[in-house]
Amino acid sequence: MRGRVRFLDTRPLRGSQPFRDLWIGTSASQLGGQIANVAVLAQVWDLTGSPVGTGAIGLATGLPMVLFGLLGGTLADTVDRRTVVRATTVGQLLAAAGLCAQALAGNRNVLLLLALVAMGTACGALGAPARRTFPVRLLPGDQVAAGLALTNVSFQAAMLAGPAMAGLIIAHWDFSAAYAAQAVAMAVSMLAMIRLPAMRPEGADAAGGRRRPERGGWRIVLRRPTLWGSMATDLSATLLAMPISLFPLVNEIRFEGNPQTLGLFLSAVAVGGITAGLLSGTVTGWRRGGLVQLSAAGVWGLALACFGLAGSLWLALGCLAVAGAADTVSVVTRSALVQLETPDAYRGRVSSVEHVIGVAGPELGNFRGGLLASATSASFSLVAGGLSAILAIAAVAATNAPLRAYRTPSAAVKPTAPGVADAAATAGQ
């Protein structure tokens, strides 16, 4: 099998009805989210005309992700995780309705817009740790990476279709129609979540009552080099090199502010991501997950530095496509590593740390990029960010031998609690 290209592994969709429901619901929410993201980006730019304004979107989403993501981790290890996801999905639906209402009312207050964005983000962050634990509970151990790859493919497809749909919706109607589309997508997601089985954390009583989670959610991350190394790699890549907030400025300076070009930037990232996702059978078959993630994260930083220097549209889009492909490989390998290395009793809290880093990191990185570009230039911000990410990732690789040597289990292996597995993991890796 060595050297052979393997395409997308669809066994999770074919063999598990609950996973199919989860995948449908998640795909719908991702598509709605991408449509709304473009609408928010365009509306904030329309209201402010400033990269600091678009960068503030990252701040409005990043801070709720940190606060409510960590709270959601504890909640996911305390009560039925399905209930958490259902409730937070309703909250996201209400936030989408609020965004639609403010657009219909002709709102010109950017703070109100960002407040509604923060509300939806807080609800999503509160439920994200519980949602992240679903694939490993619904699938056999040897299909977890494939299930995560399928979820990532749907995300990349949403990134590809969402911006184009948003552009068409906004051009033919207005911002309110784009937010209404998000609300419909969240309603579909809610219906899919209803069909899922109960998923109480291990250790909860049979009646589904609350339990006090054992201590150690943060401790298990810090004591296992594979976990903190994987998360540090992702944080280095996103916090230092995230480019989205700079797209309007780059488009304005280099491509005359054409709104179609702005959509192409986002779609190019998705094209690279979905291409890598369709070939993810090869990636999920590689057992050197830590080394794969480190390499992919380095390619991400290099591609975005090149994007900062690209003069032609096609070269710029090519760099973004490479970045999108590298991001997909990094996300799939990181997600599988984190879920497989974490005992179920701790998965909610460890997943909350992963969520905060994996989602808040990019948003705060967008804020960082916008601030640096306002003080220097878009090109400098992109190049400096990409090169800084490469250096930070190299530092993680140099200081974390267990992550470099990590191998994904060939069969389902149930992780044990801290204190037993930590010493073994540190010594054995």
Report pLDDT digits (tens) over 20-62. Answer: 999 999 999 999 999 998 899 889 988 888 877 877 887 888 7
Name the pLDDT band for 405 (thresholds 50, 70, 90).
Answer: confident
Q: How far apart are CA 41 and CA 251, in angstroms?
A: 13
| Residue at token pair 């999920």 | 284
pLDDT at 172 over 50: yes
Under DSSP, the state recorded for 415 is: -
Up-side HSE of residue 65: CA atoms within 13 Å toward CB?
Answer: 22
| HSE-CB of 384 using CA atoms within 13 angstroms | 13
User: 268 with 317: CB under 8 angstroms?
Assistant: yes
- CA–CA separation, 181 vs 35, rounded Å? 8
Amino acid in the structure at residue 173: W
- Residue 212, pLDDT score: 52
Contact 116, 101 (CB under 8 A): no
Q: What's the CA dihedral at 380, 385, 386, 389 to 10 degrees?
A: 160
What CA–CA distance (Å, rounded) separates 264 from 426? 45
Going from the C-alpha of 425 to that of each of 214, 406, 418, the distances in angstroms are 20, 10, 10
Q: Which residues contact 3 (CB under 8 A, 6 or more apart)?
A: none
Cβ atoms within 10 Å, residue 197 = 12
Structure confidence at residue 217 (pLDDT): 59
Please state the length of the chain: 429
d(Cα 22, Cα 96) in Å, to the nearest integer? 21
DSSP designation for 312: S
What would the two tokens of residue 278 be?
């369709």
The whole-number pLDDT of residue 289 equals 77
Query: What is the Cα–Cα distance from 248 to 242, expressed in whole angstroms?
Result: 14
With bands split at pLDDT 50, 70 and 90, how would you rate the model's confidence at 427? very low
pLDDT of 99 higher than 90: yes
Q: Which of 28, 127, 16 is CA-nearest to residue 68? A: 127
At 387 the pLDDT is: 96
Give the span between the Cα atoms of 217 and 41, in whole angstroms. 35
- d(C-alpha 158, C-alpha 321), whole Å: 15
Amino acid at residue number 333: T
**Interval 391-408 mean pLDDT:** 91
Give me the phi and psi of 210, to 5 degrees please: -75, 155
pTM over 0.75: no
| Measured distance between the N- and C-terminal CA atoms of the chain, rounded to whole angstroms | 25
Q: How far is CA 109 from CA 15, 43, 44, 187, 329, in A?
A: 49, 11, 9, 27, 39
Is a pLDDT exceeding 90 seen at residue 164? no
- In the block, tokens 């209803």 appear at 194
Distances 65 to 84, 162, 253, 363 between C-alpha atoms, Å: 16, 22, 32, 9
Write the burial class of residue 134 (CB in 10 Å: 0-12 exposed, 13-18 middle, 19+ buried): buried
Side chain identity, residue 153 = V
Range with lowest mean pLDDT among 64-73, 290-299, 361-370, 418-427? 418-427
Count of helix runs (H) and strand runs (E) in the chain: 20, 0
Answer yes or no: are the C-beta atoms of 7 and 278 closer than 8 Å.
yes
Question: Which domains are delineated in the chain?
Answer: 13-201+216-428 (1.20.1250.20)
Query: d(Cα 226, Cα 291) in Å, to the nearest integer?
Result: 11
DSSP 98: H
pLDDT at 82 over 80: yes
- Nearest CA-CA partner of 166 in 27, 255, 36, 43: 36
For residue 266, the number of C-alpha atoms closer than 13 Å in the C-beta half-sphere is 27
210: helix, coil or strand?
coil
The one-letter code for the residue type at 396 is V
In the predicted structure, residue 96 carries a pLDDT above the cut 60: yes
Q: For tokens 């309603």, what's the residue?
A: 187
